[in-house]
């Protein structure tokens, strides 16, 4: 049995990620995917989860069949479909029967509001459209279903013919729909229009109504909040704003806007802090690239880069943040770049537990960082390289190895094709290790040779995996003489880290990133490394 919020200051959250969201180009969810997302949405505490259109495809029919066997703590699973066809009765309409077969406690019924759609799309009369709405709604209610009525293209319809648009809502109300939803289906209405028209609806029908907005004018969230100001008691949208064309209203912004800014209850107490986790979970399951700059839940939503900003938040955390990130399950980050001040580096040192002593010592690292960025390095996405620069400030810090020299050969041999070999000579304490190794390219050969030299001394290195290697040409007009930036991602069983190198020589750029990557990974095991260094020197 679902547990739902109620009261005058509560706004119902109707999630349509599993239907409207999947209409986004590039998203395709399996039935298992949809069930996993539905489970997370239920745990988040939304009021309704629209599972799909059971009359449209076998996958959605399977979803409803499997969902009936599951326990739902907060949400009501909802099936979506359209009114009966012109000239037919609901009991004879296959789409209506599919809604009933879905077995959900709630059915959402969509019907036409705009006279343009009535005449040009349905090709029927205004009177017949009203009959279809009322009869379909009433039939589903008679069959024991709660009905939410979606008035498609409501705002366009209202602007074309206000009286008829209102009659479509009244037809659904006569059919006993528990709420009517005003849809800005084309996403072109302005917030002041939404509020003005929604206010007129509230004055005329005296019935619960909600709002469903699309984002074609980048106003989906603003329009949704405007309708709530006018009295809307339900908001419809999708996680991350996924949806057809430019997307639907983004629940990841709407929910915290309502709860934090407008003091409207949406989720069970304490559940808002799971919003960022749910956003990223849906991104992962949908196999989409995350939008790091999304409000509230994006990785950069509370990231501070400018030196003045960071200096200010070190004095007062609220000076450049509109909320505490923890309220939505996110976190503040300080980004290091050529725009940084000393505060950025001090904050980064504190984040990683690095003792720097006199803060004035930071200036040397800051100057070096700015010079390196001018030469093509970029440290925003390579925090491990920054950490190593800070670590090396410590007079007692001993690097786990130091480069003596390296050589890379790339040859084409008649009987073997391309052959790449690297030799590496490094010092570990007073010991010099000289190794060689082949690889499928110069960077791979260097990596293999360096590992071959160090793994006997640092066995933990065998657990490090180079998982991503990105190359960017910074000044392409210089052709093959251009500066090249290399980003390397490395991981072990517990952590993933990124390092950077830059040079007009791609091998040198790769070597810088590779050395930082290995050195950072070894510092994760600092005490063991120190013991090994002492043993080698002894």
DSSP string, 268-311: -TT-GGGHHHHHHHHHHHTT----TT-TTTSTTTTEE-SHHHHH
Measure the CA–CA gap between 17 and 285, rounded to whole angstroms: 12
Structure-token match 């789409």, residue found = 95
8 Cβ contact list (under 8 Å, min separation 6): none
DSSP string, 14-74: EE-TTTTGGGSTT----HHHHHHHHHHHHHHT-SEEEEE-TTT-HHHHHHHHHHTTS--SS
Tokens read off for 117: 């759609």
- The pLDDT of residue 477 is 66
Q: Where is 61: in which H helix or E strand?
A: helix 58-67
- Contact by Cβ (8 Å): 411, 418: yes
Tokens read off for 354: 């690095």
- Please give the residue that has the higher pLDDT: either 50 or 483: 50
Considering only CA atoms, which of 488, 422, 426, 431 is closest in space to residue 449?
Answer: 422
The least confident of 112-116, 309-313, 499-503, 520-524 is: 309-313
- The pLDDT of residue 23 is 94
- Please give the residue that has the higher pLDDT: either 464 or 256: 256
- The pLDDT of residue 354 is 72
Is the model's pLDDT at 277 over the cut of 80?
yes
- Contact by Cβ (8 Å): 262, 221: no
Structure-token match 């290697």, residue found = 469
Give, as one character, the DSSP assignment of residue 346.
Answer: H
Give, as one character, the DSSP assignment of residue 10.
Answer: B
- The pLDDT of residue 43 is 96
- The pLDDT of residue 170 is 98
Give me the percent of the chain exceeding a pLDDT of 90: 59
Task: Tell me the pLDDT tens digit for each residue of 130-165.
Answer: 999 999 999 999 999 999 999 999 999 999 999 999
Angle of helix 506-523 relative to helix 442-454, nearest 10 degrees? Answer: 30
Q: Where is 487: in which H helix or E strand?
A: strand 484-491
* pTM given for the model: 0.76
Number of H helices, E strands in the chain: 18, 16
Is the model's pLDDT at 464 over the cut of 70?
yes
Task: Tell me the pLDDT tens digit for each residue of 444-454.
Answer: 899 999 999 99
Residue 213 burial (CB count, 10 A) = 31
DSSP string, 162-231: HHHHHHHHHHHHHTT-SEEEEEETTS---HHHHHHHHHHHHHHH-S-EEEEEB-TTS-HHHHHHHHHHTT
- Contact by Cβ (8 Å): 291, 297: no
483 Cβ contact list (under 8 Å, min separation 6): 375, 376, 473, 474, 475, 502, 503, 504
Specify the 3-state DSSP secondary structure of 456.
coil
Residue 107, classified by CB atoms within 10 Å of its CB into exposed (0-12), middle (13-18) or buried (19+), is buried
Is the model's pLDDT at 534 over the cut of 60?
no
Considering only CA atoms, which of 347, 339, 343, 337 is closest in space to residue 385?
Answer: 337
- Please give the residue that has the higher pLDDT: either 360 or 388: 388
264 Cβ contact list (under 8 Å, min separation 6): 9, 10, 11, 228, 258
Measure the CA–CA gap between 310 and 319, rounded to whole angstroms: 9
- The pLDDT of residue 353 is 76
Residue 482 burial (CB count, 10 A) = 15
Residue 318 burial (CB count, 10 A) = 10
Is the model's pLDDT at 39 over the cut of 60?
yes
- Strand 417-428 and strand 431-439: pairing? antiparallel
Confidence of residue 269 (pLDDT cuts 50, 70, 90): very high
Domains along the chain with CATH numbers = 12-285 (3.20.20.70), 303-374 (no CATH), 402-537 (3.30.160.270)
Q: How much is the mean pLDDT over the chain?
A: 89
Structure-token match 């409803």, residue found = 64
Is the model's pLDDT at 440 over the cut of 90?
no
- Contact by Cβ (8 Å): 484, 503: yes
Residue 268, classified by CB atoms within 10 Å of its CB into exposed (0-12), middle (13-18) or buried (19+), is middle
Measure the CA–CA gap between 108 and 134, rounded to whole angstroms: 14
Give me the percent of the chain exceeding a pLDDT of 70: 92
Tokens read off for 457: 């001394």
The least confident of 12-21, 196-205, 335-344 is: 335-344
Nearest-5° angle of CA 169, CA 234, CA 221?
A: 105
Distance of CA 371 to the CA centre of its chain: 33
Task: Tell me the pLDDT tens digit for each residue of 285-319.
Answer: 999 988 989 999 998 898 877 777 777 777 887 88
> Dihedrals φ, ψ of 316, to 5°?
-150, 115
Task: Tell me the pLDDT tens digit for each residue of 198-236.
Answer: 999 999 999 999 999 999 999 999 999 999 999 999 999
Confidence of residue 526 (pLDDT cuts 50, 70, 90): low
């Amino acid at each position: 049995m679902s547990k739902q919020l109620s009261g005058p200051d509560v706004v119902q959250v109707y999630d349509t990620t599993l239907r409207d969201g999947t209409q986004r180009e590039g998203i395709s969810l399996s039935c298992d995917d949809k069930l996993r997302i539905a489970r997370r949405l239920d745990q988040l505490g939304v009021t309704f989860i629209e599972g799909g259109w059971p009359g449209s495809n076998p996958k959605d029919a399977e979803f409803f069949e499997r969902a009936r066997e599951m326990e739902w703590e907060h949400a009501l699973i909802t099936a979506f479909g359209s009114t009966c066809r012109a000239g037919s009765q609901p009991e004879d309409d296959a789409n209506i029967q599919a809604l009933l077969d879905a077995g959900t406690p709630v059915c959402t019924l969509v019907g036409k509001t705009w006279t343009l759609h009535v005449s040009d799309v349905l090709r029927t009369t205004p009177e017949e459209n009203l009959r279809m709405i009322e009869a379909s709604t009433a039939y589903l209610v008679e069959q024991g279903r709660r009905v939410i009525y979606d008035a498609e293209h409501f705002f366009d319809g209202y602007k074309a013919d206000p009286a008829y648009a209102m009659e479509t809502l009244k037809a659904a109300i006569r059919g006993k729909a528990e709420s009517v939803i005003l849809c800005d289906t084309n996403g072109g209405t302005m917030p002041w229009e939404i509020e003005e028209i929604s206010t007129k609806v509230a004055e005329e029908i005296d019935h619960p109504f909600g709002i469903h907005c699309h984002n074609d004018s980048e106003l989906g969230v603003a329009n949704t909040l405007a309708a709530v100001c006018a009295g809307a008691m339900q908001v419809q949208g999708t996680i991350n704003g996924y949806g057809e064309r430019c997307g639907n209203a983004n629940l990841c912004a709407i929910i915290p806007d309502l709860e934090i800014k407008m003091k409207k209850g949406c989720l069970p107490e304490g559940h808002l802090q799971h919003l960022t986790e749910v956003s990223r979970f849906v991104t992962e399951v949908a196999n989409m690239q995350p939008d790091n700059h999304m409000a509230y839940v994006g990785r950069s939503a509370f990231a501070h880069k400018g030196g003045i900003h960071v200096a200010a938040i070190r004095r007062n955390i609220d000076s450049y943040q509109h909320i505490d990130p923890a309220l939505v399950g996110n976190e503040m980050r300080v980004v290091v770049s050529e725009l940084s001040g000393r505060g950025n580096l001090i904050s980064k040192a504190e984040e990683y537990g690095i003792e720097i002593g006199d803060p004035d010592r930071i200036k040397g690292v800051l100057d070096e960082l700015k010079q390196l960025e001018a030469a093509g390095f970029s440290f925003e996405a390579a925090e491990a390289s920054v950490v190593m620069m800070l670590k090396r400030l410590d007079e007692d810090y001993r690097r786990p190895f130091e480069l003596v020299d390296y050589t890379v050969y790339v040859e084409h041999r008649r009987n073997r094709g391309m052959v790449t070999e690297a030799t590496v000579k490094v010092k570990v304490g007073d010991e010099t290790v000289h190794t060689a190794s082949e690889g499928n390219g110069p960077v791979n050969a260097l990596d293999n040779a360096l590992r071959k030299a160090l793994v006997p001394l640092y066995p933990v290195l065998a657990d490090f995996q180079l998982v991503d290697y990105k190359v960017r040409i910074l000044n392409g007009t210089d052709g093959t003489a251009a500066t090249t930036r290399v980003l390397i991602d490395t991981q072990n069983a517990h952590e993933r880290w990124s390092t950077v190198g830059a040079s007009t020589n791609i091998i040198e750029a790769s070597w810088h990133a590779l050395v930082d990557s290995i050195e950072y990974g070894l510092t994760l095991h600092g005490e063991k490394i120190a013991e090994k260094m002492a043993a080698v020197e002894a």
